[in-house]
Chains A and B, each alone.
Chain A
Amino acid sequence: MKQFGIFIQKEFYHILRDRRTLLILLGMPVVLVLLFGFAITNEIDNARIAILDQSKGEMSQEITQRLVASGYFLIDENLQEIAQIEQHFREGKTKMAVVFPSGIEEDKRRNLPTQIQLIADATDPNTATTLINYASAIIGQYAQEQARGQALPMQIRTEVKMLYNPRLKSVFLFVPGVMTVILMLVSAMMTSIAITREKELGTMEVLLVSPLKPAMIIVGKVIPYILLALANTVVILLLGTFVFGMPVRGSLVLLALECLLFVITALALGILISTRTDSQQVAMLISLMVLMLPTILLSGFIFPIESMPKVLQVISNIIPAKWFIIILKNVMLKGTGIEFVWKESLILAGMTLFFIGASVRNFKTRLE
């Protein structure tokens, strides 16, 4: 036990004395979360639009006001003629143009269906769709209000309720995802170099010729990094809740324990990489490339797992991040307790044991 103690102490010295690495390890998650967080948002604020009002009437005024009042749009320019629209899009000044034809006031007075044209720059289809949807919704609502009191033909209106995220804020989707990816990367990268460093510096040769058992060396390497990874977790959680407005509806204790579990999974995975490689650089690259892509693409972070081909759906089951994202969403958004996430937690725990077991097995007790 004393041997184990001094081994962990030694690891702490390595971590704390390498100030620059420590700073990177602690600073990297902050930078990454902020970068990812602000980059991966598909919400639109203050999109510049152009208005071509040929009717110059009360209705076009009111709709324009509503568009601006929504906060999504900002009037870039009031155009005078059709030809200007094309010009405007080409210059890239605007994302959408709203055309009010001259006959709309007349149509309204005679109670006839009328048309307003929305033209969007679809070089970026996602933005174009989102803008059109927002604008249509606002115009539709206006039309309904106007039609109140008048006899209408039979209509079916769907009443939609978006549970847990009524305002469909995309942060609710990406914050758990970003948290998962960053925790995975940082934790796995930290330990992936832990054993290769000893190999490179030649100290492994001396460690091998000592009574230390492989399991002791591997577990001793993981433990000090747990604290560091937990510090990262706290920072990421704080950023998620305070900067991006992510709620924590479930138990904070449960959330912390689940994070601890996932962090240990990632650290164990890093150690496994470390036992299979001989240089720090290779270990870093593997943990970055091999872990990053599946974690981002197959975890359900960006692409929903349900819409993937069957093969990928099956593969996604071996990605630890998938299970952690499910847990995070349950605990943070739905506020559920352990009774709804015990299965996922058990899967993560099983993976962790597997990684540590495989590391011990892979650990070479000789130089060859």
Chain B
Amino acid sequence: MPTSQAIQVDNLSKRYGKDVQALAQVSFEVGRGELFGLIGPDGAGKTTLIRILATLLLADEGQATVNGWEVRKNYRKIRSHIGYMPGRFSLYQDLSVEENLRFFATIFGSTIEENYELIRDIYVQLEPFRERKAGKLSGGMKQKLALCCALIHKPVVLLLDEPTTGVDPVSRQEFWEMLQRLKEKDIAILVSTPYMDEASLCDRVALIQKGRLLSIDQPGKIVSAFDKPLLAIRTNDMYRLIHDLRAFEPGHSAFPFGEYVHLSLRQPIWPEAIHAYLAGKEHTGIEIKPAQATIEDAFMELMTREVM
């Protein structure tokens, strides 16, 4: 029964023991061929959510369907139609690249040759290491192999739990390019990540914190919803700078951002006023310039609002 959505989640809640509320009334949906990002810090509930959708955990309350199948009742159906990549590298380290791929293709009732088309772009990079044991691959290569193994049976939904954590920047970028290409094959992709800069690469993103979804929208819209004046500031003593800017009265929030600190303001004020304030705090090498809001600023804003 093909409903329109690839993933549909309604009011999903999950607790561990008495104290830990891993998920609280989470609702969202992912359309076919959509790349949906789940962004949030460690312990926000990303893994729990993905495991519930992968039928590995049961939710306490709420409903969820994957490709129209209910996750509790139809878990067998779901299992043969999804690709799942756990957060931890979960392939057989003592099997070679090719043996791993062949194993996962076969247990899903497929063959490498049948769906080679789907993984070709990724697999060409792995092919020179076909004979190498999976345990001896680099971090980025491991993740590419894991993605191949999750894709080899042509799933309709792909669930990726922090696929780029612990991977070098170049490999991370390549990995995201692959996901963009997979989208075109009409595979719905749900990907979680702690890296906010990856959010802008998704079609839509959901910010998750302490088990709650803070905002679901297209990355561009989330950025444009950020309406406060923003300045990028640096001095010779960055650590003290953050501290002093947070104590600065007209300031709203201050977060480190690369080699600058992003300061958002309650209302526009002259940069000279800030300069004077910092000089009064004995900062040297002060540099202040207006900054363009990024998705990270928007998230920081959302998260602080939630805390307050």
Give the interface of B toward A (CB within 8 A). 51, 54-58, 75-76, 79-80, 82, 84, 86, 88-95, 99, 102-104, 106-109, 149
Check A10–B84 contact: CB distance below 8 A: no
Check B107–A212 contact: CB distance below 8 A: yes
Check B102–A203 contact: CB distance below 8 A: no
* A207 and B149 alpha carbons, distance in the complex (Å): 12
Check B94–A211 contact: CB distance below 8 A: no
Check A206–B108 contact: CB distance below 8 A: no
Check A210–B94 contact: CB distance below 8 A: no
Query: How many residues on A have C-beta within 8 angstroms of the other chain's C-beta atoms?
Result: 25
Residue of B nearest to A217 (CB): B107
Please choose the segment from A1-9, A66-74, A258-266 that sits at the chain B interface, where 4 or more of its residues have CB less than 8 A away. Answer: A1-9
Please choose the segment from A154-162, A171-179, A304-312, A360-368 that sits at the chain B interface, where 4 or more of its residues have CB less than 8 A away. Answer: A360-368
* Min CB–CB distance A217 → chain B (angstroms): 10
Check B91–A206 contact: CB distance below 8 A: yes
Residue of B nearest to A366 (CB): B56
* A208 adjacent to chain B (CB < 8 Å): yes
* A113 adjacent to chain B (CB < 8 Å): no
* Min CB–CB distance B166 → chain A (angstroms): 14
Check B107–A6 contact: CB distance below 8 A: yes
Q: Contacts A6-B103, A6-B106, A367-B51 hold; do A208 and B56 have CB atoms under 8 A apart?
A: yes
Report 22 cross-chain contacts, Cβ distance below 8 Å, ordered by A residue.
A2-B109, A3-B107, A6-B106, A7-B107, A13-B95, A13-B99, A201-B93, A202-B89, A203-B92, A205-B56, A205-B88, A206-B91, A207-B107, A208-B79, A209-B54, A210-B79, A211-B79, A211-B107, A211-B109, A365-B75, A367-B51, A367-B57
* Min CB–CB distance B73 → chain A (angstroms): 13
Q: In the assembled complex, which residues on chain A have CB atoms less than 8 Å from the CB atom of B93?
A: 201
The residues in A between 285 and 334 inclusive whose CB is less than 8 angstroms from any CB of B are: none
Q: In the assembled complex, which residues on chain B have CB atoms less than 8 Å from the CB atom of A7?
A: 103, 107
Q: In the assembled complex, which residues on chain A have CB atoms less than 8 Å from the CB atom of B86?
A: 202, 205-206
Check B56–A203 contact: CB distance below 8 A: no
Give the interface of A toward B (CB within 8 A). 2-3, 5-7, 10, 13-14, 17-18, 201-203, 205-212, 365-368
* Min CB–CB distance A151 → chain B (angstroms): 84
* A201 and B92 alpha carbons, distance in the complex (Å): 8
Q: In the assembled complex, which residues on chain A have CB atoms less than 8 Å from the CB atom of B108?
A: 210-211
Q: Contacts A7-B107, A10-B95, A211-B80 hold; do A206 and B56 have CB atoms under 8 A apart?
A: no
Check A3–B106 contact: CB distance below 8 A: yes
Residue of B nearest to A364 (CB): B56
* A100 and B55 alpha carbons, distance in the complex (Å): 87
- Binding site secondary structure of chain B: loop
* A7 and B106 alpha carbons, distance in the complex (Å): 9
Check B58–A366 contact: CB distance below 8 A: yes
Q: In the assembled complex, which residues on chain A have CB atoms less than 8 Å from the CB atom of B75?
A: 365
Check A368–B94 contact: CB distance below 8 A: no
* Min CB–CB distance A208 → chain B (angstroms): 6
* A5 and B149 alpha carbons, distance in the complex (Å): 18
Residue of A nearest to B99 (CB): A13
Q: In the assembled complex, which residues on chain B have CB atoms less than 8 Å from the CB atom of A208?
A: 56, 79
* A227 and B118 alpha carbons, distance in the complex (Å): 39
Q: In the assembled complex, which residues on chain B have CB atoms less than 8 Å from the CB atom of A211?
A: 76, 79-80, 107-109
* Min CB–CB distance B60 → chain A (angstroms): 11
* Min CB–CB distance A133 → chain B (angstroms): 57
* A322 and B88 alpha carbons, distance in the complex (Å): 45
Residue of B nearest to A17 (CB): B94
Residue of A nearest to B100 (CB): A10
* A5 and B104 alpha carbons, distance in the complex (Å): 12
* A207 and B51 alpha carbons, distance in the complex (Å): 13
* Min CB–CB distance A194 → chain B (angstroms): 13
* Min CB–CB distance B17 → chain A (angstroms): 12
Check A13–B55 contact: CB distance below 8 A: no
Check A206–B90 contact: CB distance below 8 A: yes
Residue of B nearest to A6 (CB): B106
* A6 and B91 alpha carbons, distance in the complex (Å): 15
* Min CB–CB distance A360 → chain B (angstroms): 15
* A7 and B103 alpha carbons, distance in the complex (Å): 7
* Min CB–CB distance B130 → chain A (angstroms): 15
Check A6–B102 contact: CB distance below 8 A: yes
Residue of A nearest to B82 (CB): A209
Q: In the assembled complex, which residues on chain A have CB atoms less than 8 Å from the CB atom of B84?
A: 205-206, 209
* A87 and B89 alpha carbons, distance in the complex (Å): 71
* A6 and B101 alpha carbons, distance in the complex (Å): 11
Residue of B nearest to A212 (CB): B107
| A-B pairs, 4 with minimum CB distance | A202-B90, A6-B106, A211-B80, A209-B84
Q: In the assembled complex, which residues on chain B have CB atoms less than 8 Å from the CB atom of A17?
A: 94
* Min CB–CB distance A278 → chain B (angstroms): 15
* A366 and B109 alpha carbons, distance in the complex (Å): 21
* A244 and B27 alpha carbons, distance in the complex (Å): 72
Check B107–A210 contact: CB distance below 8 A: yes
